[in-house]
Amino acid sequence: MEQNFVTERRLMVERQLRGRGISDRRVLDAFEAVPRHLFVPEEYRHLAYEDGPLPIGFGQTISQPFIVAYMTQLLDLTGKERVLEVGTGSGYQAAILSALTAEVHTIELIPALAERARATLAQIGVTNVSIHIGDGSLGWEAAAPYDAILVTAAGPRVPPPLLKQLADGGRMVLPVGERGAQVLELWRREGEQFSQETLLPVAFVPLRGKEGLK
């Protein structure tokens, strides 16, 4: 019989998320519901609920659960928002977002990762995520504006096209900086005014593409 890791998932939520200050009930429920082990390669499945990132192939990673939860909580989703994620990777973050809001767009540069994420999301019955293949440092203009944007790879600065695609009143969370020296930033838009707050030091894979790291 296939293992479903219910106990491991519950412990992850209690110790790594609630225990470290993640308090949004809807966010905690989403982490309890989404089977993270299905988003990691077979050989790492037994490590899926450990406190760290894991390789997903092509030199890329699925992020540490706490960081995924922390970034998600900052978006303050109520269930009605249209959200853009840059860097689909395994599709896990997109699955979490799909449980918290109406419409999710996610964009991935590596076609094979996008295809695998599409298959995994279909396998668990997610229907409100659209996966696009392309350079997400330019955003995804076709579905803009977005009430929330989440970037899961680090570029040298906030990409101007993403600020442009943020809706009035919208929020964006992203890592900014060079390899090994990045911080998480929260941006808010009010009309044509943008405000920025610097949060945690983080370590993400590089954002590639036109507005990414050279």
Binding site for ligand SAM (CB under 6 A): 60-63, 86-87, 89-90, 92-93, 107-110, 113, 135-137, 152-153, 204-205, 207-209, 212
Among 163, 68, 57, CA closest to 114: 57
CB of 191 to ligand SAM, least distance (A): 28
CA distances for 76 relative to 6, 49, 50, 72, 130, angstroms: 26, 24, 25, 7, 21
CB of 129 to ligand SAM, least distance (A): 11
Catalytic residue among 23, 63, 90, 98: 63
The tokens describing 13, both together, are: 């939520």
DSSP string, 126-140: --SEEEEES-GGG--
CB of 193 to ligand SAM, least distance (A): 27
Which one, 147 or 151, has the nearer CB to ligand SAM? 151
The three-state secondary structure class of 159 is coil
| Gyration radius of the chain's alpha carbons | 16
CB of 151 to ligand SAM, least distance (A): 8
Which one, 73 or 152, has the nearer CB to ligand SAM? 152
Among 23, 17, 22, CA closest to 36: 17
Does the annotation mark 98 as catalytic? no
Cβ proximity of 74 and 173 under 8 Å: yes
Which one, 145 or 161, has the nearer CB to ligand SAM? 161
Which residues are bridge partners to 189 per DSSP?
194
Which one, 69 or 153, has the nearer CB to ligand SAM? 153
Catalytic residues: 63
